[in-house]
Structure 1
């Protein structure tokens, strides 16, 4: 390897094989981020604390413990995960369900904010809370302290939680898990990991002794296996003082078992397995070549990680080209180099095969990687990949003072669990920039030869059971591989176009009206061609500009015979390239640019969404202008896309969930083509020429477009681009309005049960539909009803009756084309509990209808909304959606400024009123998915 002499813009340089004053060698250990305060208490408890101001007045706390399913004995299978559940069912300072109740009253949502996970090797708990309330912050730490060692594990609560975990297990059962049970021992080389899935076994969960769980807790929940990660808008020194005071008395048991580190040994064998299942809708093939894990501890290791990232990016681009062919060899295909599981890395190839074309797809994937192994990538491919990587590095660095606290947690977790050092924002930027320049084409091409080897290789085929007799055996697949080895494969031809996206631009438009909305920080412009522009400059991000646009119209303007062509119009055009570039050439043209533009045609509108950094904002506007004026239709891309669509739909109805979904839509919307899932036969109804014409029609007139732009720009900076690219768009000043298609559910509810599926599990969907009194106040009350019912249903169906793992209530309402609402409840359970749980759910609804909700549940909703809004008001995405939706619904966007006042209108009586108005028994639709057959006792 040649001598590397790199200079940072500031800081040390990098040299490879000779010392120099102030240099950082490739052999040096990666520096650890000094912005995080680290420590370890005498009992072994570790902590990581970092001040971070985004989001303001918020902190995220994580408790990590090196305890997972891998530590379980044969009589403890599933107990690490079960113990995770029990932490929410009673701790020393928060008995029974008081923890969830307390945090909900503080605005923390169970499941989305407050959560945890268990894996093979660790269990991690997360708690994001406000940091501007000292009492709440103190109690938040107490929650983590309780999780560390003070779970109560009461008999009654353990027995209640068995049903919850069994329902979680049941929900995961299906084709994927049934096949996984067969192939896991192979791909995990018969290691301990193959027998220690975190979910455990039904037999153990149903019957383990209470004391067994307590013993597991005592043995493994101990400070020398734990760490606390705290990142947010907090005083680091004060937080460290509190942690020391609160966690210092955690004790390690005298007879604590050793925490062994398990691995997956390489066996030096090539392995093969084909598994089938009647509910598997596609044939999927994976080729996994395992290698010893390469730890990232030195600067040289980090450089090699960059090379792997470039390899994966270039390989992905190759396969993106392959699927744009008129007759692509597979539905999806590709491969990459990455981590596998404890102690192993892997080179993985995969494909989803078209029906009857597994060999063709397999050979196409393997041939492409054989091409890479023999001939490598090209200089131009590497240059584009480096440009893309550099753009991402620079973008991340530009946002370093705007990074969300959550984004730091994963790296600190990884440091605690794996020992890898965490680079600071500055080091990540400097090392990324400087090492990138030293990665050569030979470095990247060598990876193909290093990882694509013929040892420790697993070939796994997963297919529909009806194809079982036609699947190849190991010798047949080995024959395919041998044939490819003997085949002459040409080098890759990097087809690039030397052109400009736009040849000419029209004269710029002008501003004909301007309205400032200082209360919103918004400026409303009308341009000379009728385009309306809503500007909201922000400082929420340093280099993020988001754009969305809409125009009334959409697929509703077209009859049913044209519907599918209209529905796929934007997909057809968006995948065809733009102007002088086909899709592949356009991707290459945009390499190194932080920009994305996507047109859409929805039911009642058309428009586009776009994003960019400041440097590439002009390119974004060029792309927007291009979709209006120089769209393309690439017949090869269209034909290939529709082939892949039809192939993916061929066995779709083998999936019970697809049958259930189709039944619901058929009942609710009388098989209307606009509300049904596409079939193979319907795919042929998409006419590419008609789709292209419809796209051009939808974007022929810009006069009724409203464009909303939010982000890091100034009005002065963006105005020339607005006038040139938006103000120059063609306008015919047509007047359009999406018609009411009259597609609504029946006025009277009904029940429908679908019997399909091999597993003894059921899904339930309850729906209410009808006319709606659309208003700010009514919307708020219905939102409150949704939130309150979510709380009550979890308390009843999950916590009290142990009948579900998850349950959700969802309210939605529409202003156009008519004021309508829908309210749904969804959960999965065992077949024998369908009717009693449905009765319980309806009983909870009736309680609210008869007595109104409890004030404590209203308070939880109000607290949650306030806390969410505090964060949302500092996010570009929130403002983009809020402003665009307000203008599309002809509503005053300043409503958001009154939102907190509107929350005061949420009362028990008002919620009771909307419950009685909309959750009407006569409008209730009950849909139940039951298995094909029940278990016979």
Structure 2
């Protein structure tokens, strides 16, 4: 369960609030788009069955067979934190938590227990969120079990109105929510507390963050929560959304039977709508914090929200997406300069909060360069406002849109059930139409053809205005004295408006990527693996190709490649140059094209190719549609044959890295992570975060030479290709572009660098941070008896321990919001394992909870796990694998991983049968074997001393 409060971290991504879909209109257009009158209301998806019971409950039901034998069930309630009184702060979110702590038909924690037995994972499958205006519960379950399907509906029925809300469960959950609140505290929250009143124009929204307050969560009365539940959890504010491999008529009948008796209160409280008023004024605020690692400036120009209800509205929505795409391309180009004006910068037109849209500009400034960064972003948008975009920019943006549209339409019968839910949710919550696959495709094609560059350019003038504008600066405390005030920023804006700004020069090329195509190779050996649907080829240059054609998608082809070697072959002196070699080359373009020109050259193509160099391998990650498959392999060949080194891009990238690292030591979590790695790996450069000083160790020419060296010989490469192709279609491309790769015949193997944690465990405590919160990381490391069975047993231990830790640390002791156990194991360079336990809590609970976690580990070591928890693991594995076996991404990873580990990939076909080998004794054995006390490392982050 999590709080969806509509705001994003300013540190991670500085667009704090633009979460909603693009919704606005832009004046008058032609009266007709193709055969569609623009004034027509958008048609509703005719593939969904809609209805409303007499009590007001709405429902949306759709049959969809992807994934097979699965259904997603949602309960949406128009109840969020905005409805809370001053005595109810945080109760909408608290109530969401309580729905998992006992309902009429699933008392106590029987709901989670029951669903886990059915293979549903708590947190990743079974979940919910609370926002300002709604609370939404999600339940994805198998649909091939009638009893489970029936009980799934019963769960939704209980969530709708039958939470038990017992005194003892309420008191237990207070601690969980307080720990969730505590985990969110930090620089961003402290600053948010200061700027929200301004950004939200002193509205009710500024005082109704869904998480509530510490005082309210600790002090609300039991009846206050029950009254809130009775007042707002009622059918006239609720909707069911059910999409999956089901019989729609039967599901509709069950809904009518099960939900018709839901009652609305006799004295219904009015469900008021609240707004963020537009004042017409401009506002300014600078906020600092000692733990803020970067300086961020945001300009937010608010506008009334325009709903997307008509064809004209939808046309405008498409025009905005083109505007944002083209603006994004301009700013990506700015970052490729030899001295970029910022770390990050950009802007867009989009949603703000209910009732408002916004035009937003942002910059993450380099240290000491706030004015330069700010002016560069504003100047670019001023260029757009004055001169607009070019016809060629628009053509590329349209081509990209249409490529995505064609791809989505091609996959319409393979579309995942989950992807339908948001549009039906939005229809219920916002009253906007949910388009069918056919109408989205038809409208997109027809309307895109009617959007002119003048239409898109008009958006810049409409949204980039000087009223209802907020300017917000977030910065480190130490820079407080150097921050500009409102007068200074306004003077910057005025100066830009008075400056001549040249139109954008759309520098393009149209030449072949390769001067001459490669000489095709031949197939020397062919091995069929019919049980896997795989063909393995050995080409004349030594390249191994693993092909798995599938029908899981209609237009999706995934590719990966590996070769032994990686950065392990280079000295510590060359390590950083080797580690960044692929990044340097990938950012420099290819052949005759620099990076910006290459992006333009590839516009309208559904293709992505990324070279990589990891510690032990180098290779490619790629994907494409069927139409662009040849382009994908042409790009792969080009990275080997005609890579580029662009000094300007390199130097600009290094400057941005230095700027982003400048204040890393002010972030408590970063210091904690760095300390852990430094202790475990003795400050080895290959295991520690890069420092500002170390950036200068990256030599561009050395990085380029290393890249060429890593890809100079293809004879030890293995390519895996999975997806919607036939062998007849792909073989000519494989033979030309992979068969034409160079072969020098060298034999390489990644060495064992010997970088391992100490043999015996230890303890370290780091004191950093203003907030009274702590983080705990516990690790076990050691040598490992690698085998398929041992891996399965360790996976079972991870799953079972996760269950027990949640039951103990969260549910029984109310000491954490989340806790996780994670197992990992490796075959190369040495058989090794690691096992970790991680959680956050308050400082006074660190030691008691650590003792509880170790106690749960010891119980498994002494007695073995309970059979019910083994059954949950087995059920989850079976259900997860059922879906994975119909996914290209799973097969790509499984096949490539098996070849890297020199394993037979066919073992996956017997995996479900082998689950019978997981027993209480087998899990107990691996727990005693690997969770050894003297191999336990304990790391704790505590707040800094006052």
Shift of 1:896: 0.3
Q: In structure 2, the residue corresponding to 1:269 is in which secondary structure?
A: coil
Q: Distance in 1 between matches of 2:270 and 2:729?
A: 62
Q: Determine if the alignment matches structure 1 residue 861 to structure 2 residue 879.
A: no
Q: Determine if the alignment matches structure 1 residue 757 to structure 2 residue 765.
A: no
Q: In structure 2, the residue corresponding to 1:922 is in which secondary structure?
A: helix
Q: Determine if the alignment matches structure 1 residue 226 to structure 2 residue 250.
A: no
Contact 1:665 1:676 in 2 (8 A): yes
Q: Distance in 2 between matches of 1:507 and 1:186?
A: 64
Q: Determine if the alignment matches structure 1 residue 53 to structure 2 residue 65.
A: yes
Contact 1:41 1:248 in 2 (8 A): yes
Contact 2:31 2:38 in 1 (8 A): no
Contact 1:17 1:25 in 2 (8 A): no
Q: Which residue of 2 aligns with 1:213?
A: 225
Contact 1:278 1:466 in 2 (8 A): yes
Q: Deviations over 1:234-289 (max 9, x none)?
A: 00000000000000000000112000011111010000000000000000010000
Q: Distance in 2 between matches of 1:269 and 1:539?
A: 57
Q: In structure 1, the residue corresponding to 2:593 is in which secondary structure?
A: coil
Q: Which residue of 2 aligns with 1:886?
A: 898
Q: Determine if the alignment matches structure 1 residue 296 to structure 2 residue 308.
A: yes
Q: Distance in 2 between matches of 1:731 and 1:181?
A: 61
Q: Deviations over 1:472-527 (max 9, x none)?
A: 00000000000001000000000001211011123210000000000000000000
Q: Distance in 1 between matches of 2:32 and 2:725?
A: 46
Q: Which residue of 2 aligns with 1:498?
A: 510
Contact 2:389 2:453 in 1 (8 A): yes
Q: Which residue of 2 aligns with 1:529?
A: 541
1:377 to 377, 389, 392: 389
Q: Which residue of 1 aligns with 2:586?
A: 574
Q: In structure 1, the residue corresponding to 2:347 is in which secondary structure?
A: strand
Q: Distance in 1 between matches of 2:103 and 2:620?
A: 50
Shift of 1:17: 7.3
Counting only pairs closer than 5 Å after superposition, residues 226-625 of structure 1 correspond to structure 2 as 226-625=238-637
Q: Distance in 1 between matches of 2:842 and 2:229?
A: 29
Aligned length: 919
Q: In structure 2, the residue corresponding to 1:674 is in which secondary structure?
A: coil
Shift of 1:16: 7.8
Contact 1:32 1:422 in 2 (8 A): yes
Contact 1:597 1:608 in 2 (8 A): yes
Shift of 1:902: 1.3
**Could you list the runs of 4 or more consecutive aligned residues of structure 1 that deviate by over 3 angstroms after TM superposition?**
15-20
Counting only pairs closer than 5 Å after superposition, residues 727-738 of structure 1 correspond to structure 2 as 727-738=739-750
Q: Which residue of 2 aligns with 1:695?
A: 707
Shift of 1:23: 4.6
Q: Determine if the alignment matches structure 1 residue 800 to structure 2 residue 812.
A: yes
Shift of 1:299: 0.3
Q: Which residue of 1 aligns with 2:682?
A: 670
Q: Distance in 1 between matches of 2:57 and 2:261?
A: 10
Q: Distance in 1 between matches of 2:550 and 2:363?
A: 43
Q: In structure 2, the residue corresponding to 1:437 is in which secondary structure?
A: helix
Contact 2:32 2:38 in 1 (8 A): no
Q: Which residue of 1 aligns with 2:4?
A: none
Q: In structure 2, the residue corresponding to 1:774 is in which secondary structure?
A: coil
Q: Distance in 1 between matches of 2:770 and 2:826?
A: 38
Q: Deviations over 1:6-51 (max 9, x none)?
A: xxxxxxxxx987799x953100000001100000000000000000
Contact 1:513 1:526 in 2 (8 A): yes
Q: TM-score, normalised by structure 1?
A: 0.98
Q: Determine if the alignment matches structure 1 residue 111 to structure 2 residue 123.
A: yes
Q: Deviations over 1:678-698 (max 9, x none)?
A: 000000000000000000000
Q: Distance in 1 between matches of 2:519 and 2:603?
A: 29
Q: Distance in 2 between matches of 1:24 and 1:828?
A: 55
**CA shift in 2, pair 1:311/1:849, >3 Å:** same
Q: Which residue of 1 aligns with 2:189?
A: 177
Contact 1:166 1:202 in 2 (8 A): yes
Q: Distance in 1 between matches of 2:32 and 2:827?
A: 71
2:177 to 152, 162, 165: 165
Q: In structure 2, the residue corresponding to 1:313 is in which secondary structure?
A: helix
Q: Distance in 2 between matches of 1:482 and 1:203?
A: 46
Shift of 1:342: 1.0
Q: In structure 2, the residue corresponding to 1:266 is in which secondary structure?
A: coil
Q: Which residue of 2 aligns with 1:820?
A: 832
RMSD, aligned CA: 1.0
1:788 to 800, 806, 829: 800
Q: Distance in 1 between matches of 2:469 and 2:498?
A: 20
Counting only pairs closer than 5 Å after superposition, residues 615-694 of structure 1 correspond to structure 2 as 615-694=627-706
Q: Distance in 2 between matches of 1:23 and 1:867?
A: 46
Q: In structure 2, the residue corresponding to 1:561 is in which secondary structure?
A: helix
Contact 1:326 1:639 in 2 (8 A): yes
Q: Which residue of 2 aligns with 1:74?
A: 86
Q: In structure 2, the residue corresponding to 1:329 is in which secondary structure?
A: coil
Q: Distance in 2 between matches of 1:437 and 1:721?
A: 33
Q: Distance in 2 between matches of 1:933 and 1:863?
A: 47
Q: Determine if the alignment matches structure 1 residue 769 to structure 2 residue 788.
A: no
2:841 to 820, 829, 849: 829
Q: Distance in 1 between matches of 2:30 and 2:262?
A: 47
Q: Distance in 2 between matches of 1:19 and 1:124?
A: 38
**CA shift in 2, pair 1:17/1:916, >3 Å:** closer
Contact 2:74 2:139 in 1 (8 A): yes
**CA shift in 2, pair 1:17/1:740, >3 Å:** closer
**CA shift in 2, pair 1:125/1:18, >3 Å:** closer
Q: Distance in 2 between matches of 1:719 and 1:385?
A: 32
**CA shift in 2, pair 1:401/1:689, >3 Å:** same
**CA shift in 2, pair 1:692/1:794, >3 Å:** same
Q: Distance in 2 between matches of 1:257 and 1:384?
A: 52
Shift of 1:783: 0.2
Q: Distance in 2 between matches of 1:472 and 1:779?
A: 57
Q: Determine if the alignment matches structure 1 residue 900 to structure 2 residue 912.
A: yes
Where in structure 1 are there 5+ consecutive unaligned residues?
A: 1-14
1:89 to 91, 94, 101: 101
Counting only pairs closer than 5 Å after superposition, residues 13-32 of structure 1 correspond to structure 2 as 23-32=35-44
Q: Distance in 1 between matches of 2:554 and 2:745?
A: 37
**CA shift in 2, pair 1:437/1:107, >3 Å:** same
Where in structure 2 are there 5+ consecutive unaligned residues?
A: 1-27
Q: Which residue of 1 aligns with 2:138?
A: 126
Contact 1:16 1:25 in 2 (8 A): no
Contact 1:16 1:27 in 2 (8 A): no
Q: Which residue of 1 aligns with 2:9?
A: none
Shift of 1:232: 0.1
Q: In structure 2, the residue corresponding to 1:429 is in which secondary structure?
A: helix
Q: Distance in 1 between matches of 2:355 and 2:519?
A: 62
Q: In structure 1, the residue corresponding to 2:546 is in which secondary structure?
A: strand
Contact 2:542 2:716 in 1 (8 A): yes
